[in-house]
Amino acid sequence: MNPATESYLGVRFEDNVTFDEMFGDLALPEKSEGRRTYLQNEITRYGRILTVTLAPYGAIDRDGGVMAVIHDITEQRKLDDARREFVANVSHELRTPLTNIRSYTETLMDAAGDLPRETEVKFLGIVTSEAERMARIVTDLLTLSKLDYNQMDLRFTHFSTHAMLEAVYNAMVLNAGEQGHSFKMEAPDLLPDMNGDRERLEQVIVNIVSNAIKYTPHGGHITLAARMLDDRRLEITVEDDGMGIPKDDVPRLFERFYRVDKARSREKGGTGLGLAIAKEMVEAHHGSIRLKSELDKGTKVTILLPIDLPLEEP
């Protein structure tokens, strides 16, 4: 018995344990199933999933025995589960708008011109916005897939950090105003220029500000701030005093399609992919992103980015 076995099974070699004490709950096929060269099944120990493969050696009546090889497949199982969950999510996310489109077009067709004009226009509006939602989901998925395969053509340029933040501010200030929020930007004029894909970074920050606007009840306060932590690290924060996020949900927010309140996010036009893309994009810039939140108090997203990446290398 090697040390890994001891720790997987929680037994000690010195204790002289029996086969049943180690593998008592390992389900094995009935004898009648014929001769096999090996047997394999799974057991769970201390929250880990182990496969046990048993193979006989030597003659069973003399000197022989059975060798057990144990594999920890916990991580693999987690990946498989994540993949399955992802496919289920994609299907569900696309099916919801599709179902809506179908029911509205069917109604329009059945009524064949008998509906009042305003109703028709309203239904067609819903069909258009559901089709737009599907297009957004597909675009976001393609972006993620390109990031996954490192095929995102990032176009690195040298640009003014302050100008980029100002562009985000200008793009969002009207939107924030419409929701009755006060939105301010706190960034010194003297921020150094930086290298990166300006358009993509801008999009990431716009998304995060747009979350702050969406998930803050009317009349909130939102701040976009930036400062240099040292010569080469830029810190950008977006802070709101909105609805916040329950503690248990925070660690999962960067997962694809993860949303605290699915209905609310959909109603606000969200795809549940914004933060996942933000994370990948920031990491493609060798940076990091964090989110801190307190329920009913507010949320703060912090992005750290190096400003001196080489221009040719993404």
Q: Which is nearer to ligand ADP, 71 or 262 (CB)?
A: 262
Q: Which is nearer to ligand ADP, 152 or 276 (CB)?
A: 276
Per-residue exposure over 273-290, b if at least 16 CB sit within 10 Å of its own CB, e if not:
bbbbbbbbbbebbebebe
How many residues make contact with ligand ADP (CB under 6 A)?
Answer: 21
Q: Closest separation between CB of residue 48 and ligand ADP, Å?
A: 30
Residues 271-310 that bind ligand ADP (CB under 6 A): 271-276, 299
Q: Which is nearer to ligand ADP, 140 or 197 (CB)?
A: 140
3-class SS letters over the chain? CCHHHHHHHCCCHHHCCCHHHHHCCCCCCCHHHCCCCCEEEEEEECCEEEEEEEEEECECCCECEEEEEEEECHHHHHHHHHHHHHHHHHHHHHHHHHHHHHHHHHHHHHHCCCCCHHHHHHHHHHHHHHHHHHHHHHHHHHHHHHHHCCCCCCCCEEECHHHHHHHHHHHHHHHHHHCCCEEEEECCCCCCCEEECHHHHHHHHHHHHHHHHHCCCCCCEEEEEEEECCCCEEEEEEEECCCCCCHHHHHHCCCCCCCCCHHHHHHCCCCCCHHHHHHHHHHHCCCEEEEEEECCCEEEEEEEEECCCCCCCC
Q: Is 97 in the site for ligand ADP (CB under 6 A)?
A: no
Q: Closest separation between CB of residue 94 and ligand ADP, Å?
A: 15
Q: Which is nearer to ligand ADP, 197 or 239 (CB)?
A: 239
Closest CA to 301 of 242, 231, 261, 229: 242
Q: Which is nearer to ligand ADP, 196 or 272 (CB)?
A: 272
Q: Closest separation between CB of residue 103 and ligand ADP, Å?
A: 23
Q: Which is nearer to ligand ADP, 233 or 292 (CB)?
A: 292
Rounded Cα–Cα distance for residues 111 and 132 (Å):
24
Q: Which is nearer to ligand ADP, 10 or 246 (CB)?
A: 246
Q: Closest separation between CB of residue 240 and ligand ADP, Å?
A: 5
Q: Which of 242, 279, 281, 285 binds ligand ADP (CB under 6 A)?
A: 242
Q: Closest separation between CB of residue 311 and ligand ADP, Å?
A: 30
Residues 9-48 that bind ligand ADP (CB under 6 A): none
Q: Is 196 in the site for ligand ADP (CB under 6 A)?
A: no
Q: Closest separation between CB of residue 293 and ligand ADP, Å?
A: 6
Q: Which is nearer to ligand ADP, 50 or 301 (CB)?
A: 301
Rounded Cα–Cα distance for residues 134 and 310 (Å):
36
Residues 200-229 that bind ligand ADP (CB under 6 A): 211-212, 215
Q: Closest separation between CB of residue 85 and ligand ADP, Å?
A: 16
Site string for ligand ADP, 244-273 (x = CB under 6 A): xx-------x-----xxx---x----xxxx
Q: Is 240 in the site for ligand ADP (CB under 6 A)?
A: yes
Q: Which is nearer to ligand ADP, 70 or 137 (CB)?
A: 137
User: Which residues does 20 contact at the CB level (< 8 Å), separation at least 6?
Assistant: none
| Binding-site ranges for ligand ADP (CB under 6 A) | 211-212, 215, 240, 242-245, 253, 259-261, 265, 270-276, 299
